[in-house]
Each structure stands twice: as structure tokens, then as C-alpha cells.
């Protein structure tokens, strides 16, 4: 038995959730996929998957194997990619998805630079705050703004970070007062970012590391950060937003940070792709390019 191939087949079955979909992904037959999994189970002397006509789930042994095998396969793919990188020409269409505001503000200026460096790569950029399914929707790469990473079946590379800041316009603070303690937030209203689990429940951590969740009353909700920002600039309430969106406003005084001794969780800017295995030259070049562009202190956090 080719154990490396068996590991690949087993991992693909887990990621795709069925033998048939794994067979399609591996360009082989469902019977062949079943054979590999059965041989692997016989070799290890344990059942790896619970199978029913409609559902697959991992056994305890299968879960342990899957966690270790993914790392092995990624290491092998990384070695293969490094060995072949110098001989593979980057060309063809690269489909990339990114969040709307971040894509306009911080990615759009980078595309011409990448195109000048790699003229044989055609960019197909889609901006959306919806979390796309990379495999099902045919994307090579996505940029994600995340506190929780990506799905277990995906690979990520952190490009940068951004702080989340509670702030308001000077006009709002002059009218409603500036909160000095967490308890003062009860007398204030907010404009909530509805795409977040922190929309109206703000987990604020003090300098000693103690976190308290404060329930806020929203007078408006929006699923787009630019809309939230515009309402705050008009003096309609408190907001929290990432510095990549409001950094310039804070530096210019259009927005003022409140409760500076308390912090919200930072967020990661991630490059997300389905797997390191068989990673194309164009995707690898894009990831390396973006990592270089965002290296060091993020521009939005510079004073």
C-alpha cells in the first residue's frame, strides 16, 4: 500500500465529506477511494470513519490521524513546491476574493504593482463581505478579516493585524458626554456592525487582562464598515471598527478614541487557500507578494 497516497485519499474524504466527492477531487473512482480507506484501516488495525448511507464522521482514531496527516501532507507539498518554484512560470487567471472595504482601501492600490511584476497572470478580483466557499465557487485565494482563523480544511498565512478601536465623533461626545468607565456606556448608543458576533456585545479587556462583556443599545445596524463609519462621523453614536478603516480618522481627529485603557480583540488579515498541495505558482507568488507588502507595522497603525 502506498501510505502517502492513502493518507491523501483519507484526508480528502474527510474534507469533502463523502467518498464520491473525494473521488471527483482526486480524479479517480469512488471504488478506488473506498479501497484505499479500507486498506489504511486494515493496516492500522482500527476503524477511522463511521459510515452510513447519508453521513460520514470520524472515529476517535480517525480524528487523531487526520490531525497529524494534514501536517505531513502540507510539509510534503511545501517541499515539492519549493523544489519546483524556480522552474514553473506563473501564468493564467487568478481568482481572488476579498472583503469590500479592505479590498478598496488597501488591496486595490497593490494590483497594478503585481501586474507589472507578473504580466502573464490575469487577475479576477471579487470584493464581497460574504465568506465564499473557495472550492465550490472556484476561487484560488481569499483575503479574510478574522478573529477565529479559517476552516480546518483550509490553509492560512497571516499577512497583518489590525486593532479594533471604540470611538466616536467629537460632536457626539460633546452632546452625550465622554464615557470614562465601562458603566458609563449604559448611557450611550452605538452604530453596530451586524456581520460581527460583537455587534452589540463588546468584550472589553482592561490593562490587567480582565474582560467584561458590555451590552450596547444600537440605534442603527449595518453589515458594512464604511456605512458604520459614516454614521459615526455624522455624530450618531459610538462605534468600534478596525484601524485599517478608521486609522486616518483617528489621526485627523474626525473620530476620537474612548476608553483607551480598554481594548477589543485584535483581528488578523489572512491569506486563505484550500491546500498547500499542488499550490500553483501564481497563487504562491500572490501570497508572497502580499506578505511583503504588509510586512512590518501596518500602515493603518502608524502614528
* Domain residue extents for the chain: 3-84, 92-155+270-301, 162-267
Spell 107-133 as b/e; 16+ CB within 10 A means b: beeeeeebeeebeebeeeeebeeeebe
Contact between residue 242 and residue 101 where contact means Cβ atoms under 8 Å apart: no
Out of 3.40.190.10, 1.10.3720.10, 2.60.40.420, 3.40.1390.10, select the CATH number for domain 92-155+270-301: 3.40.190.10
pLDDT of residue 2: 86
The DSSP annotation for 38-103 comes to: HHHHHHHTS--EEE-SS-EEE-HHHHHHHHHHHHHHHHHHHHHHHHHGGGPPP-EEEEEEE-HHHI
Cα-trace Rg, the chain: 24
Burial class (CB in 10 A: 0-12, 13-18, 19+), 160: buried
Domain 162-267 has CATH 3.40.50.720: no
Per residue of the chain (303 residues), what is the pLDDT tens digit? 788 888 889 888 888 888 888 888 888 898 988 999 999 899 989 998 988 767 788 898 888 888 888 777 766 765 665 555 555 567 888 999 999 999 999 999 999 999 999 999 999 999 998 888 887 888 889 999 987 554 545 688 999 999 999 999 999 999 999 999 999 999 999 999 998 989 999 999 999 999 999 999 999 999 999 999 999 999 999 999 999 999 999 999 999 999 999 999 999 999 998 865 557 888 989 999 999 999 988 888 875
Q: What is the pLDDT of residue 177?
A: 95
User: By the 8 A CB rule, do 211 and 182 touch?
Assistant: no
Cα torsion through 267, 290, 224, 198, rounded to 10: -10
Q: Name 203's bridge partners.
A: 213
Comparing 92-155+270-301 with 162-267, is the CATH topology the same?
Answer: yes
H or E stretch at 161: strand 155-162
CATH of 3-84, one of 2.40.37.20, 1.20.1250.20, 1.20.1300.10, 1.10.10.10: 1.10.10.10
Q: What share of the chain is helix, strand, coil (3-state, %, to 5)?
A: 45, 25, 30
Which pLDDT score, from 0 to 100, does residue 22 have?
87
The answer for residues whose C-beta is within 8 angstroms of residue 268's C-beta and 6 or more apart is 145, 146, 147, 149, 158, 160, 161
Alpha-carbon distance of 20 to 286, in angstroms, equals 32
Distances (CA, A) of 18 to 43, 57, 141: 21, 10, 24
Amino acid at each position: 500500500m502506498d501510505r502517502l497516497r492513502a493518507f491523501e485519499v483519507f484526508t480528502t474524504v474527510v474534507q469533502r465529506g463523502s467518498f464520491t466527492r473525494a473521488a471527483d477531487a482526486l480524479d479517480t473512482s469512488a471504488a478506488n477511494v473506498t479501497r484505499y480507506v479500507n486498506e489504511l484501516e486494515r493496516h492500522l488495525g482500527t476503524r477511522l470513519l463511521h459510515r452510513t448511507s447519508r453521513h460520514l464522521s470520524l472515529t476517535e482514531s480517525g480524528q487523531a490521524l487526520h490531525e497529524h496527516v494534514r501536517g505531513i501532507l502540507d510539509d510534503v507539498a511545501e517541499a515539492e513546491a519549493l523544489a519546483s518554484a524556480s522552474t514553473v512560470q506563473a501564468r493564467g487567471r487568478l481568482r481572488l476574493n476579498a472583503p469590500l472595504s479592505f479590498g478598496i482601501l488597501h488591496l486595490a492600490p497593490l494590483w497594478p504593482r503585481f501586474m507589472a511584476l507578473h504580466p502573464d497572470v490575469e487577475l479576477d478580483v471579487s470584493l464581497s463581505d460574504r465568506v465564499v466557499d473557495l472550492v465550490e465557487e472556484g476561487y484560488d485565494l481569499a483575503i479574510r478579516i478574522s478573529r477565529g482563523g479559517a476552516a480546518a480544511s483550509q490553509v492560512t498565512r497571516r499577512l497583518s493585524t489590525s486593532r479594533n478601536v471604540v470611538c466616536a465623533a467629537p460632536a457626539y461626545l460633546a452632546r452625550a458626554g465622554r464615557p470614562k468607565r465601562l458603566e458609563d456606556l449604559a448611557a450611550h448608543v452605538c452604530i453596530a456592525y451586524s456581520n460581527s458576533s460583537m455587534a452589540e456585545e463588546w468584550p472589553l479587556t482592561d490593562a490587567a487582562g480582565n474582560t467584561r462583556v458590555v451590552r450596547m443599545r444600537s440605534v442603527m445596524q449595518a453589515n458594512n464598515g464604511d456605512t458604520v463609519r459614516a454614521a459615526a462621523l455624522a455624530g450618531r453614536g459610538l462605534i468600534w471598527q478596525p484601524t485599517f478603516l478608521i486609522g486616518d480618522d483617528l489621526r485627523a481627529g474626525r473620530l476620537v478614541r474612548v476608553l483607551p485603557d480598554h481594548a477589543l480583540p485584535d483581528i488578523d488579515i489572512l491569506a486563505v487557500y484550500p491546500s498547500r498541495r499542488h499550490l500553483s505558482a501564481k497563487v504562491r507568488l500572490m501570497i508572497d507578494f502580499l506578505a511583503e507588502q504588509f510586512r512590518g507595522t501596518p500602515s493603518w497603525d502608524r502614528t
